[in-house]
Structure 1
């Protein structure tokens, strides 16, 4: 669980936003965050890791966080918002957060393919993340988190290194399967609507 707030923190929720290190800009998330922050700026303490995305017009913006800095931030905040990077999601859950996930959209130039969307939707359906694919969904989730941060808390297990390694491997397999399946569907729809790939992705 995130660390308890001190008496001076009672009026301010702590929020970490992390877009990862991907070189594609994620301006959409930054814009949504700026829209939300205008109405809650006195109630929120932000840390925004924006990477290659433009720096948001909010306090607490930082280009990158080292591994140790990210761990510290996740241990201290009430809410985590992130892109659908598997490692970021796993770290958030390891620190006791149900992350609010905004997947990158390749149609907007935010990534090379749609694996983040497919992956986030699968995790959202399983209740492992709170999926926010629209501005309204993100703002609704953030406001709900301000009202009740425990709504976005899960049981933390910071010492489960073996379980975490197994989870990372499983996540990697899921993402790979989703990417292969998505690429195969796009190719069939465009070139070979009659062909179906076999288990190895080869066309029959």
Structure 2
């Protein structure tokens, strides 16, 4: 059940931001959030799970949320903004949200590889997330969500479990495809690594 809002929350859109538990910082997303929040503070209530990133200068920031607390926050949120982690995206959709997703970028030191980008782009193309890979795109999505949260809602009715199962299965196939693609690439790196080590020994 959604949590009961206190008087301070009345009339405000509740936004949950979740960057997951990965050890890499994700300051880029949090900086974009800080910039946007300056103009939206009076209209938005925040819960921000910032993980291993420095705490952003916004209210409601906590490093981590226990699983039950995260479920409660998702249940009570009007909008969910998150990184490109499959588990976080699935949880958001299960709670009736079309999540606004900013995938981590390994070129910026935000992850070990590009699987979040590949995954989020495929879901974005399928209409299963609102993909944002730039500051303007994120700010536009958040502004649209505050203006009309229903634009970022999906069906989360127990009577439509078949549709939810289909969505989960679709995400599962995408994840399986990414894993298979990574597995196909891995042997070439391992062979190259062994050859390089053998070459050094020969010298």
Q: TM-score, normalised on structure 1?
A: 0.80
Per-residue deviation, 1:11:
2.7
Per-residue deviation, 1:169:
6.9
Aligned to 1:89: 89
Per-residue deviation, 1:172:
4.8
Aligned to 1:77: 77
Which protein has the larger Cα radius of gyration, Structure 1 or Structure 2?
A: 2
How many residues are matched? 190
Q: For the structure 1 residues 156 and 41, does the alpha-carbon distance in structure 2 shift closer, same or farther, using more than 3 Å as the test?
A: same
Please give the alpha-carbon distance, in whole angstroms, between the structure 1 residues aligned to 2:108 and 2:183: 18
Aligned to 1:195: none
Structure 1: runs of 5 or more not aligned: 193-204
Please give the alpha-carbon distance, in whole angstroms, between the structure 2 residues aligned to 1:156 and 1:57: 33
CA-atom RMSD, angstroms?
3.2
Q: For the structure 1 residues 22 and 166, does the alpha-carbon distance in structure 2 shift closer, same or farther, using more than 3 Å as the test?
A: farther
Is the Cα–Cα contact under 8 Å of residues 94 and 158 in structure 1 kept in the other structure?
no
Aligned to 2:139: 139
Runs of 4+ in 1 over 2 A off after TM superposition: 1-11, 157-188
Please give the alpha-carbon distance, in whole angstroms, between the structure 2 residues aligned to 1:126 and 1:161: 19
Aligned to 1:201: none
Please give the alpha-carbon distance, in whole angstroms, between the structure 2 residues aligned to 1:34 and 1:76: 22
Q: Deviation per CA, 1:85-126, whole angstroms, max 9, x where unpaired?
A: 111111111111000000000000000100100000000000
Per-residue deviation, 1:53:
0.9
Q: For the structure 1 residues 166 and 143, does the alpha-carbon distance in structure 2 shift closer, same or farther, using more than 3 Å as the test?
A: closer
